[in-house]
C-alpha cells in the first residue's frame, strides 16, 4: 500500500510540474487561442505549482520514519479534491473562451506585403489571426529590416502569434523605396509566383509614408493580372484612407495586442499600445456596425475571395 501511495504522489508531482512548465512555455498559444488568456495562464501556473508542492510534501511525510499513521491524511484531502476542482475550472474556462471559427471549405492563400517590420501586425493583425483560424495559408513579405539591425527577427516572433505560415524579409533601404521601384516590383512578383496567393494585402496609395506609397505602386505593377488586392491601414494611414471593406475581428483584439507586445523601435510604440490598438479597432467597428473591425480599401476584389470570412 505504501509503495502505491509513493508512486501515486510521485506521478502527481511530475504531472503538475509538467502542467506548470507547459503553461509557461506555451503561453503564447494560450494568448492566440483563448480570450482573456491571462487569467487562464495564472490559474494553470498556480495549479501546477501549488499541487506539485502539496504532493511533494506528502511524499516527504511518507518517507519520514517518525510520521504517525494517519496524521497527515488531511494532506491527501487537500491534494485530491481542490486539484480536481481547479482542473475542472480550467476545462470549463477553455470551453467558454476558446476562439472558434468555421474553417474554410477550400483554403485560401494570402500574401501580405509590408514596407517595414511590424507593419503587417499593426495593419491587419486581427484579420490575419482570423484568417489563420479559418484555414487560410498566410505569407508575409517585409521589404526592409528596420532602422536597427536587432529588429530583424522581431516581426517573426510577433507574426508567429498571428499564425503566419511563411515570412520573407528583404533589405531595401528605408525612406528610399521610390528609388528602387523596379527592383521592388521584381521582388514582389517573385514572391507572388512562389506563394500563388488568391488575396494580396498591401499598403494604401493614400498613405503619407513614401516607402508605403512605393510598395503600393510596386504591388500594382507586379500583380497587374491579379483579381483580389486590398490596401490595409497603416499606423499613419492619413485622413484620406477610406475603407470600403471591413472584417469583423471581435474575439481577436487580445491576439493582436499580444502580437505587438515585443521589443520595438520607439516610432512604433504609440500605435502599438494596447489601448490605441483597441481604439482603432473599435472605430472601424463603429463604421462597420460591429464591436471591432479592421478596414481595407478595395483595389479590386473577386466576390468569392473573402466569402469564408
Give the CATH number, domain containing residue 139.
3.40.50.10320
- 21 found inside a domain: yes
Which residue, 97, 132, 156, sits at the end of a domain? Answer: 97
Which residue, 29, 63, 97, sits at the end of a domain? Answer: 97
Mark whether 122 and 242 lie in a shared domain: yes
Give residue for cell 471591413.
Answer: 246
Which pLDDT score, from 0 to 100, does residue 114 have?
95
Q: What is the pLDDT of residues 293-302, one digit of tens each?
A: 999 999 998 7
- 222-244 average pLDDT score: 89
**Buried-state track 254-292, b at ≥16 Cβ within 10 A, e below 16:** bbbbbbbebebbeebeebbeeebbbebbeebbeebebeb
Which residue, 97, 128, 156, sits at the end of a domain? Answer: 97
- 309 found inside a domain: no
- 199 found inside a domain: yes
- 270-280 average pLDDT score: 88
DSSP state at residue 293: E
- 151 found inside a domain: yes
Mark whether 193 and 287 lie in a shared domain: yes
Mark whether 37 and 136 lie in a shared domain: no
What pTM does this model have? 0.72
Q: What is the pLDDT of residues 125-152, one digit of tens each?
A: 999 999 998 889 999 999 987 444 344 4
- 110-134 average pLDDT score: 92
Give the sheet arrangement for strand 109-114, strand by strand: 166-169, 137-142, 109-114, 199-202, 228-232, 293-301, 245-248
Mark whether 136 and 259 lie in a shared domain: yes
Which pLDDT score, from 0 to 100, does residue 25 have?
76
Mark whether 43 and 126 lie in a shared domain: no
DSSP state at residue 290: S
Find the DSSP H helices in 64-197: 73-97, 119-133, 154-162, 181-195
- 103 found inside a domain: no
- In sequence order, the β-bridge partners of residue 167 are 140
> Confidence class of residue 102 from pLDDT cuts 50, 70 and 90?
low
- 291 found inside a domain: yes
Instruction: Please give the Cα distance from 195 to 94 (Å, whole number).
Output: 34
Question: How many folded domains does the chain comprise?
Answer: 2
Which pLDDT score, from 0 to 100, does residue 42 have?
78
Mark whether 83 and 141 lie in a shared domain: no
Mark whether 22 and 123 lie in a shared domain: no
| Residue-number span of the structural domain to which 37 is assigned | 2-97
Instruction: Please give the Cα distance from 292 to 152 (Å, whole number).
Output: 30
Mark whether 153 and 42 lie in a shared domain: no
Mark whether 191 and 280 lie in a shared domain: yes
Mark whether 123 and 269 lie in a shared domain: yes
Mark whether 113 and 229 lie in a shared domain: yes
- 238-259 average pLDDT score: 90
Which pLDDT score, from 0 to 100, does residue 100 have?
56
Instruction: Please give the Cα distance from 231 to 203 (Å, whole number).
Output: 5
Q: What is the pLDDT of residues 145-203, one digit of tens each?
A: 744 434 444 446 788 888 899 999 999 998 899 999 999 999 999 999 999 999 999 99
- 134 found inside a domain: yes
Which pLDDT score, from 0 to 100, does residue 153 have?
41
**Per mean pLDDT, which range of 15-29, 117-131, 182-196 is the poorest?**
15-29
Instruction: Please give the Cα distance from 272 to 13 (Å, whole number).
Output: 40
> Confidence class of residue 87 from pLDDT cuts 50, 70 and 90?
confident
Mark whether 43 and 125 lie in a shared domain: no
pLDDT value at 283 more than 90: yes
Amino acid at each position: 500500500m505504501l509503495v502505491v501511495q509513493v508512486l501515486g504522489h510521485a506521478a502527481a508531482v511530475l504531472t503538475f510540474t509538467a502542467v506548470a512548465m507547459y503553461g509557461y512555455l506555451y503561453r503564447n498559444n494560450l494568448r492566440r487561442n483563448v480570450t482573456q488568456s491571462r487569467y487562464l495562464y495564472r490559474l494553470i501556473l498556480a495549479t501546477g505549482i501549488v499541487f506539485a508542492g502539496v504532493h511533494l510534501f506528502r511524499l516527504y511525510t511518507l518517507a519520514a520514519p517518525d510520521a504517525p499513521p494517519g496524521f497527515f491524511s488531511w494532506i491527501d484531502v487537500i491534494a485530491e479534491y481542490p486539484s480536481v476542482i481547479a482542473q475542472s475550472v480550467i476545462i470549463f474556462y477553455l470551453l467558454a473562451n476558446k476562439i472558434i471559427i468555421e474553417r474554410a471549405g477550400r483554403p485560401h492563400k494570402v500574401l501580405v506585403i509590408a514596407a517595414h517590420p511590424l507593419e503587417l501586425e499593426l495593419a491587419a493583425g486581427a484579420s490575419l489571426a482570423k484568417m489563420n483560424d479559418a484555414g487560410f495559408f498566410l505569407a508575409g513579405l517585409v521589404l526592409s529590416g528596420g532602422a536597427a539591425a536587432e529588429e530583424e527577427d522581431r516581426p517573426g516572433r510577433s507574426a508567429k502569434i498571428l499564425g503566419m505560415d511563411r515570412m520573407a524579409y528583404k533589405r531595401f533601404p528605408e525612406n528610399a523605396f521610390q528609388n528602387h521601384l523596379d527592383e521592388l516590383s521584381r521582388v514582389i512578383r517573385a514572391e507572388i509566383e512562389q506563394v500563388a496567393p488568391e488575396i494580396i494585402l498591401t499598403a494604401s496609395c493614400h498613405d503619407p509614408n513614401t516607402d508605403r506609397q512605393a510598395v503600393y505602386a510596386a504591388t500594382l505593377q507586379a500583380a497587374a493580372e491579379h483579381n483580389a488586392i486590398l490596401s490595409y491601414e497603416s499606423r499613419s494611414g492619413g485622413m484620406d484612407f477610406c475603407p470600403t471593406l471591413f472584417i469583423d475581428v471581435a474575439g481577436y483584439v487580445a491576439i493582436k495586442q499580444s502580437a505587438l507586445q515585443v521589443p520595438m523601435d520607439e516610432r512604433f510604440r504609440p500605435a502599438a499600445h494596447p489601448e490605441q490598438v483597441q481604439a482603432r479597432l473599435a472605430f472601424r467597428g463603429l463604421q462597420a456596425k460591429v464591436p471591432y473591425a479592421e478596414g481595407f480599401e478595395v483595389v479590386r476584389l473577386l466576390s468569392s475571395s473573402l466569402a469564408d470570412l
